[in-house]
Structure 1
Amino acid sequence: MEDKSFENMLQSFKEKDNDTWLMNVMQLNMDCIITIQTQKAKSKLTSVAIIKVLGILLGLLWVWLLGSLGFAAYTVGNIFFALSAYAVMFISIIAIIVYIKHLVLIAQIKESDSITYTQRKLAELQTSTLKITRILFLQMPFYSTWFITPTLLANAGTGWLIVQAAATVLLTFLSVWLYMNISFKNVNKRWFRILFGNSEWTGVTQAIAFMKEIDEFKSAK
C-alpha cells in the first residue's frame, strides 16, 4: 500500500514537471517569435527612416531653390512665378517638418517596448503619413501657373486662355479630390495602391503586420 502511494506521488511529480517543461518551451517559443517579429518591424522602419532622411535633404534643397527663384521672379515683376514658387515652398516646408516628426517617432520605437506601445506609435506614423501625403497633393495646381506672365496674359488668345484655365481647374479639382479621399477607408482601392506602392508606405504597413502577427499568436495561445 505504501509502495503504491509512493508511486502515485512520484507520477504526480512527473506530470507536474512535464507541464512545467511544456510551459517553459511555449514561453520560449513565444519570446523567440516576439523577438523575430519585432526585429523584422524595426528593420522595415529603418528603411523607412532612410527614405525620410533623403526626403528631408532633398526637400531642403528644393525649398532653397524655390525660395531663390521665387525671390528673383518677384524682383523682376513675375508675380505668378513668385506666388507659385512660394506656395509649393510653403507646402514643402510643412512636409519637411512632418518628416522630422516621423524620424522622432521611429527613433522612439525600441525592441524592448511593449507590443501595445509599438502598435500605437506605428499607427500614429501611418496616420501622419496619410495626412502629409494629402497636403502634398495640394500643390498640384501651382505647377500649372508658374510660367504665366502679365505679358503672356495680355497677348494670349482665347484658345490659350481656355486651355490654361481648364488645366488649372482640373488640377485643382484633382488635388482637392485626393485630399478628401486619401484615407484608410480607401486603402483597398486600386488608385490608392498605385499612389502608395512605395517603400515609405509599405514599410510602415509591413511593420504593423509583423506586430499584428504577434498579437494573433498570443491570442491563439
Structure 2
Amino acid sequence: MEDTELINLWKAYDKKLDENLVLNRKNAEDITKMKVQSLLNAMKPLKIFTLLAGLLWVGLGGTIISNLFIHAYSNMSKFFLFSAAIQLILTAIALWIYLYQLILIHQIDSSEPIVATQEKLARLKSSTLWAARLLFLQLPVWTTFYWSESGFKNGNSVPIFFQIAVSLAFTFLAIWLFRNIHYKNRDKKWFRLLFEGNEWTPVIRSIGLLNEIEAYRLEAKPDKPLTSPAE
C-alpha cells in the first residue's frame, strides 16, 4: 500500500512538473514575442520617414530628369543626366524594398508560431542587406554627375586624372561592398560600422531572442521520460 501511494505521489509530482515546464515555456515565448514586436515596431518611424522622403526625392528628381531627357538632351551634360538617372533608379528600387519591409513588419503577429516569425525575420534581414547593396552602388555616380564634355576636351590633364582616379576608387568600393555585404561577415568591424543602428540591430536582436526560445525548447525536452521509483 505504501509503495502504491509513493508511486501515485511521484506521478502527481511528475505531472505537476511537466505542467510547470509547459507553462514557463509558454510564458517565456509570449514575453519574447512581445519583445520582438516592440523591437520591430521601433523600426517603423525611420522606415516610414525614409520611404516618404525617398518618394519625394525620386518623384521630383524623376520629373526633372525625364523632362531634361525629352526637352534638353542635346544641351545637357550627358554625365549629369545618366548619373542622375542611375541614382534615381537605384533609389526607387531601394524604396520598393523599404515598402516590402514595412509590410513584413506589419504582418508579424505575436500570436503566430515562432517558425512563421523566424521566416519573416529572415526575409527582413535579407532585404535589409539587399537595400544596402543597391544604395552603395550609387557611390560612383556621385563622383561623375559634375563631369562635362568640355572639361575633358579643354581641361588640364592633372584634374582630369584626379577625377577619373576618384571615380574608379568609388567604383571599386561600391563593387566590393556589393559583393561582401553578407550576413556571414556580420562580425567584421567594417560590417558593424556600417550596420549599427535602427536599420539592422532590432532585426538581429529579434532573431537572437527567437533562437534562445528554440534552444530553451530543446533543453526542456528530456532525452528520457521521468520514471517512477517502481520502474
TM-score by length of 2: 0.87
- Helix, strand or coil: the match of 1:82? helix
Instruction: Tell me the distance in 2 between the aligned counterparts of 1:39 and 1:158.
Output: 62
Q: Which ranges of structure 2 fall in alignment gaps of 5 or more residues?
A: 221-231
Please state if 1:36 is matched with 2:36: no
Aligned to 1:52: 47
Q: Would you say the 8 A contact 1:141–1:175 is kept in 2?
A: yes
How far apart are the structure 2 equivalents of 1:71 and 1:99? 24
**What's the counterpart of residue 22 of structure 1?**
17
1:47-126 pair list within 5 angstroms:
47-71=42-66, 74=69, 75=72, 76-126=75-125
After superposition, residues 150-165 of structure 1 pair within 5 angstroms as 150-165=149-164
The CA RMSD measured in Å over matched residues stands at 1.7
Q: Unaligned 5+ residue runs, structure 1?
A: none
Amino acid in the other structure paired with 1:122: L
CA deviation map 1:133-160 (0-9, x unaligned): 1111111100011112233333321111
Q: Which moved more, 1:209-218 or 1:57-66?
A: 57-66
Distance (whole Å) between structure 1 residues aligned to residue 63 and residue 145 of structure 2: 14
Higher helix share: 1
- Structure 2: distance between partners of 1:185 and 1:145: 32
Query: Residue type of the partner of 1:22?
Result: L
Q: Report deviation, 1:200.
A: 0.9
Distance 1:155 1:71 in 2: 29
Shift of 1:33: 0.5
Q: In structure 2, how many angstroms separate the alpha carbons of the residues matched to 1:54 and 1:206?
A: 22
Aligned-partner residue type, residue 211 of structure 1? L
Given the alignment of the two structures, is residue 10 of structure 1 paired with residue 9 of structure 2, yes or no?
Answer: no
CA spacing shift, 1:203–1:214, aligned 2, 3 Å: same
- For 2:10 and 2:62, the matched residues in 1 are separated by 76
Provide Cα deviations, 1:111-131, integer angstroms capped at 9, x if missing partner: 111111211111111112112
**Residues 134 and 182 in structure 1, CA contact (< 8 A), matched pair in contact too:** yes
Q: Does structure 2 retain, via aligned residues, the 8 Å contact 1:70–1:83?
A: no
1:61 deviates by 1.5
